């Protein structure tokens, strides 16, 4: 064995780079989880988690949720704000909210609300359904409920219901006409609303979501509209209701400079409104706090060049500086970080169910009489490989023989078997060329493709469209790593493909060190031992945005809590069953029961006709029904 080490594995998979303090490679080569970073004595081995999942009889793929990580992130963000506020002697408080659109799962929202209680951490809703949810979930009267997104009459009434129930519901006006509607409904119901205005910022975030800011942004009021809104409220005797200034310049801000610029711009608007006589209580800096998905700590699209504490410090100090210069009080600070709260807490565990390799098949290529000279030529090239001097020429010759052979086959000059032998020899030569070029400094361009064309595809029992929508939709990078065997050298370069019949259902972008690559080294599959890989940082957006492409439904979930007194440091608190085939068929308007009886009738007819014996008929009927009520993924 080579001098492979855990350090080498760390270099390839970067677990502690993207792991946010929660994931490491253990000495035994398994991924370890430390869900409470302040308490490193709680250390969970992923292999034990897999064993428990199997013991529970839960089928893979599985979403694993670490509730302690959610709690740690909520506490971490609030503590970061408290730290900077104390250090800066900032006069306002932090009153954060969690935007539920990032992960609306009830268990996730409940955990966040519970962990946020000591900090009066609230919730944000962006639609009617989300508002109905947060009105029921956010019962802490001290915390904020922020309402963004486009609104109708019903939404306004629901917000005012919240006010009636004693909640701090802030209606953030996204366009001017919403203000007119809100004032009308508020007067009709005689309830004082808490009003926020969203500013269309001139500064744009950089990265994939940069169109959330700038003058063409979909949401928000221009400066002129903000002033008109304030004046309108004054006219209506409701100036005291205007309490919050909001902005959001995009998600996953990769460059800290965008944050600084936005805070400066927002603080300036707040300060001038104050001087015009509109004393707002809150400035809401929106979301955007990024996650280092590729572990590069850079302005790569899937990374960010700052830490949570740096982000928070820039918000606090930026606001303080401007307010002090302008001589206005420090407002309370609100942020709507979603991605940063939830991304780490969940991951998808799937089994590799096969290997696809274009050059895997071999056949006897020994010479036979009367064979075509193309085959003779390429065999000779293979046999004299070690004596060759110009390897680039070897590549060109081999490629040419193969192409000519294919033409000759189509023209009925060579038979199928000879073509197969030529193909076998061709791939043998390519494999040797790959080894030869590995130690060369200069590799000609067409040969750089060799690594990719000789790489394997590992077939994963999951659907990219259900479990990692953003890797398909916007080329989001998510860390993928084997969960065990990292103390062994991974010798198979591969990309991952899913089990949908869509060729877009694949993951072929990874980072190794700081480099983006199209293959990732994995371990060779063993016949009698399952090989599990984890797709990490799926807790934000990925968990809830997936679709049912190919009728693959939601995944089985296990919810994990740490427990120091347990020998494995954890227990499975809940198993949430994923979609059955029946479930997804119902969504698509089928009637699975009727389908089952249709199929039964067909089977019965074959029994009557004597084409099927009755016992066999019953077995097939039961089998069809069992599959209908089963999981949509492959059974291992
Ligand atoms: C999506 C969204 C958020 C959450 O952003 P993250 O980058 O996930 O923190 C916050 N506020 C608004 C208005 C949003 O649209």
Q: What is the pLDDT of residue 613?
A: 95
Q: Which of 22, 4, 24, 29 minimizes the C-alpha distance to 14? A: 24
Which of 67-76, 213-222, 543-552 has the weakest average pLDDT?
A: 213-222
Instruction: Tell me how far the alpha carbon of residue 287 lies from the centroid of ligand 1, in angstroms.
Output: 4
The yes-or-no verdict on residue 438 having pLDDT over 90 is no
| Length of the chain, in residues | 636
Tokens in use for 304?
């960010």
Q: Is the pLDDT of residue 1 over 70?
A: no
Which residues are identified as catalytic? 501
212 contacts 205 by C-beta, under 8 angstroms = yes
pLDDT tens digits, one per residue of 343-376: 999 999 999 999 998 777 788 999 999 999 999 9
Positive or negative: CA dihedral 538, 206, 292, 510? positive
The DSSP secondary structure of 197-264, one letter per residue, reads EEB--SS---STTGGGSSTT-SS-B-HHHHHHHHHHHHHTT-GGGEEEEE----SS---HHHHHHHHH
Can you tell me which atom of ligand 1 is nearest the CA of 339?
Answer: 8
The three-state secondary structure class of 413 is: coil
Q: What value does the mean pLDDT take over residues 490-494?
A: 93
Is residue 182 scored above 90 in pLDDT? Answer: yes
Q: Which among 478, 122, 408, 118 is positioned nearest to 282, based on CA atoms? A: 122
What is the band of 446 on the pLDDT scale with cuts at 50, 70, 90?
Answer: confident
For the chain, give me the number of helices (H) and strands (E)?
23, 23
For residues 35 and 43, give the distance between their C-alpha atoms in angstroms, rounded to a whole number. Answer: 8
**Ligand 1: which atom is nearest the Cα of residue 336?**
10
Q: Is the peptide bond before 61 cis (omega within 30 degrees of 0)?
A: yes
CA of 252 to the centre of ligand 1 (A): 9
* Residues in a beta bridge with 32: 24, 45
| 626's tokens | 């069992």
Task: Report the Cα 162 to chain-centroid distance in Å.
Answer: 32
Which residue of 171, 245, 251 sits with most ligand 1 atoms within 8 Å of its CB, as the best mutation to test the pocket? 251
CB 457, CB 415: distance < 8 Å: no
Cα–ligand 1 centroid distance for 314 (angstroms): 18
Please enumerate in sequence order all residues whose Cβ is within 8 A of that of 266, keeping only pairs 6 or more positions apart, or say none: 199, 201, 245, 247, 283, 285, 319
193 pLDDT above the threshold of 90 = yes
Categorize the per-residue pLDDT at 549 as very low, low, confident or very high, splitting at 50, 70 and 90. very high
Pocket of ligand 1 (CB under 6 A): 99, 101-102, 126, 148, 248, 251-252, 286-289, 336-340
The CATH number given to 373-451 is 1.20.58
Q: Are 200 and 269 in contact (CB under 8 A)?
A: no
Residue with CA closest to ligand 1 atom 4 = 287
Mean pLDDT of 534-541: 97
pLDDT at 413: 94
**Dist. CA 522 → ligand 1 center (Å):** 35
Closest CA to 278 of 341, 399, 196, 339: 196
Average per-residue pLDDT for the chain = 95
Site to substitute for ligand 1 among 99, 127, 344, 543, most atoms within 8 A of C-beta? 99
Provide, rounded to the nearest whole percent, the portion of the chain with pLDDT above 90: 89
Residue 560: how many CB atoms within 10 A of its CB? 24
pLDDT at res. 362:
81
Cα of 304 vs centre of ligand 1, distance in Å, is 16
Residue nearest atom 14 in ligand 1 by C-alpha distance? 287
Q: Give strand pairing partners of 522.
A: 492
* Beta-carbon contacts of residue 298 (< 8 Å; ≥ 6 apart): 254, 305, 514
Q: What share of the chain is helix, strand, coil (3-state, %, to 5)?
A: 45, 15, 40
Residue located nearest, by CA, to atom 5 of ligand 1: 287
- Integer-rounded Cα radius of gyration of the chain: 30
Mutate to test the pocket of ligand 1, among 199, 287, 341 (most ligand atoms within 8 A of CB): 287
Sheet holding 97-99, edge to edge: 97-99, 122-125, 144-147, 168-173, 194-198, 242-246, 282-284, 332-334
**Band (206; pLDDT cuts 50, 70, 90):** low
Ranges of each domain in the chain: 6-66, 67-336, 373-451, 583-629
Q: What is the pLDDT of residues 582-635, one digit of tens each?
A: 999 999 999 999 999 999 999 999 999 999 999 999 999 999 999 999 999 999
Q: What atom of ligand 1 comes closest to residue 290's alpha carbon?
A: 7
Over residues 218-222, the mean pLDDT reads 90
If you take atom 10 of ligand 1, which residue's CA is the nearest one? 287
pLDDT band at 440 (very low <50, low <70, confident <90, very high): confident
pTM > 0.85:
yes
Structure tokens at 475: 């080329």
How confident is the model over 377-432, as pLDDT tens digits? 999 999 999 999 999 999 999 999 999 999 999 999 999 999 999 999 999 999 99
Rounded CA-CA distance 623/628 in Å is 9
- How far is Cα 572 from Cα 44, in angstroms, rounded to an integer? 12
Minimum-distance ligand 1 atom for the alpha carbon of 212: 15
**CA-wise closest residue to 61 among 579, 628, 472:** 579
What pLDDT is attached to residue 161? Answer: 97
**Minimum CA distance residue for ligand 1 atom 3:** 287
- pLDDT of residue 134 exceeding 90: yes
By most ligand atoms within 8 Å of CB, the mutation choice from 174, 262, 288 for ligand 1 is: 288
334 neighbors 144 (Cβ within 8 angstroms): yes
Cα 292 to ligand 1 centre (Å): 17
The Cβ of residue 395 has, within 10 Å, a number of other Cβ atoms equal to 19
Question: CA 156 to CA 118: how far, in whole Å?
Answer: 29
Helix pair angle (67-88, 308-326), 10° resolution: 30
Ligand 1 atom nearest the C-alpha of 246 is: 13
CA of 540 to the centre of ligand 1 (A): 11
Outline where DSSP puts E strands in 384-474. Answer: 456-460
**DSSP string across 171-186:** EEE-SHHHHHHHHHHH
Q: Output 252 or 636, whichever has higher pLDDT.
A: 252
CATH domain 67-336 topology? TIM Barrel (3.20.20)
Predicted confidence band of residue 150 (pLDDT cuts 50, 70, 90):
very high
Question: Counting Cβ atoms within 10 Å, is residue 458 exposed (0-12), middle (13-18) or buried (19+)?
Answer: buried
Bridge partners of residue 355, in order along the sequence: 458
Q: Is the pLDDT of residue 578 over 60?
A: yes
Ligand 1, atom nearest to 286 Cα: 11
What is the pLDDT confidence band of residue 450, given thresholds at 50, 70 and 90? confident
Determine the Cα–Cα distance for residues 538 and 519; give it in Å rounded to an integer. 20
| Coil, helix or strand at residue 510 | strand
Task: Give pLDDT, residue 98.
Answer: 98
């Amino acid at each position: 064995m080579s001098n492979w080490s855990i350090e080498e594995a760390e270099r390839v998979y970067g677990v502690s780079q993207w792991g946010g303090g929660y994931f490491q490679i253990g000495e035994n080569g398994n991924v370890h989880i430390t869900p409470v970073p302040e308490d490193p004595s709680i250390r969970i081995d992923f292999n034990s988690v897999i064993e428990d999942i199997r013991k529970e009889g839960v089928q893979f793929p599985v979403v694993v949720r670490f509730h302690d990580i959610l709690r740690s992130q909520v506490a971490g963000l609030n503590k970061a704000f408290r730290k900077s506020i104390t250090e800066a002697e900032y006069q306002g408080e932090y009153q954060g909210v969690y935007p539920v659109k990032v992960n609306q799962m009830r268990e996730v929202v409940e955990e966040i609300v519970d962990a946020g209680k000591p900090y009066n951490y609230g919730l944000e809703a962006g639609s009617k359904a989300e508002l109905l949810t947060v009105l029921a979930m956010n019962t802490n009267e001290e915390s904020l409920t922020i309402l963004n997104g486009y609104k109708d009459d019903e939404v306004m009434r629901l917000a005012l219901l919240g006010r009636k129930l004693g909640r701090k519901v802030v209606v953030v006006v996204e366009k001017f006409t919403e203000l007119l509607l809100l004032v009308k409904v508020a007067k009709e119901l005689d309830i004082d609303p808490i009003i926020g205005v969203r500013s269309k910022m001139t500064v744009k975030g950089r990265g994939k979501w940069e169109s959330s800011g700038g003058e063409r942004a979909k949401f928000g009021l221009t400066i002129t509209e903000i002033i008109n809104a304030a004046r309108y409220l004054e006219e209506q005797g409701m100036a005291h209701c205007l309490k919050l200034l909001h902005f959001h310049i995009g998600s996953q801000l990769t460059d800290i400079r965008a944050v600084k610029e936005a805070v400066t711009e927002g603080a300036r608007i707040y300060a001038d409104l104050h001087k015009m006589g509109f004393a707002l209580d809150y400035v809401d800096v929106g979301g955007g706090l990024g996650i280092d998905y590729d572990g590069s700590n850079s302005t790569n699209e899937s990374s960010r060049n700052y830490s949570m504490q740096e982000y928070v410090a820039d918000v606090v100090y930026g606001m303080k500086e401007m307010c002090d210069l302008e001589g206005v009080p420090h407002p309370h600070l609100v942020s709507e970080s979603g991605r940063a709260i939830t991304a780490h807490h969940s991951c998808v565990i799937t089994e590799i169910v096969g290997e696809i390799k274009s050059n895997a098949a071999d056949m006897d290529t020994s010479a036979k009489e009367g064979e075509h000279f193309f085959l003779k030529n390429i065999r000779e090239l293979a046999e004299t490989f070690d004596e060759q001097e110009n390897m680039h020429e070897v590549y060109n010759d081999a490629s040419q023989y193969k192409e000519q052979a294919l033409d000759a086959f189509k023209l009925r000059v060579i038979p199928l078997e000879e073509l197969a032998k030529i193909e076998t020899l061709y791939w043998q030569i390519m494999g040797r060329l790959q080894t030869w070029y590995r130690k060369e400094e200069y590799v000609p361009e067409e040969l750089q493709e060799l690594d990719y064309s000789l790489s394997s595809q590992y077939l994963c029992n999951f659907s990219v469209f259900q479990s990692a929508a953003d890797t398909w939709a916007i080329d989001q990078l998510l860390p993928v790593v084997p969960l065990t065997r990292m103390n062994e050298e991974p010798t198979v370069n591969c990309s991952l493909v899913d089990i949908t019949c869509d060729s877009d259902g694949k993951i072929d972008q990874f980072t190794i060190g700081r480099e983006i690559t199209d293959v990732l080294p994995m371990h060779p599959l063993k016949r009698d031992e399952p090989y599990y890989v984890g797709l990490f940082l799926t807790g934000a957006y990925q968990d809830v945005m997936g679709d049912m492409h190919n009728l693959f439904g939601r995944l089985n979930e296990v919810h994990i809590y740490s427990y120091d007194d347990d020998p494995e440091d954890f227990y499975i608190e809940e198993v949430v069953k994923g979609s059955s085939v029946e479930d997804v068929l119902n969504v698509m308007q089928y009637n699975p029961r009727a389908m089952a009886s249709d199929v039964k009738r067909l089977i019965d007819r074959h029994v009557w006709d004597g084409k099927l014996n009755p016992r066999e008929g019953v077995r097939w009927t039961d089998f069809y029904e069992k599959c209908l009520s089963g999981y949509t993924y492959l059974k291992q």
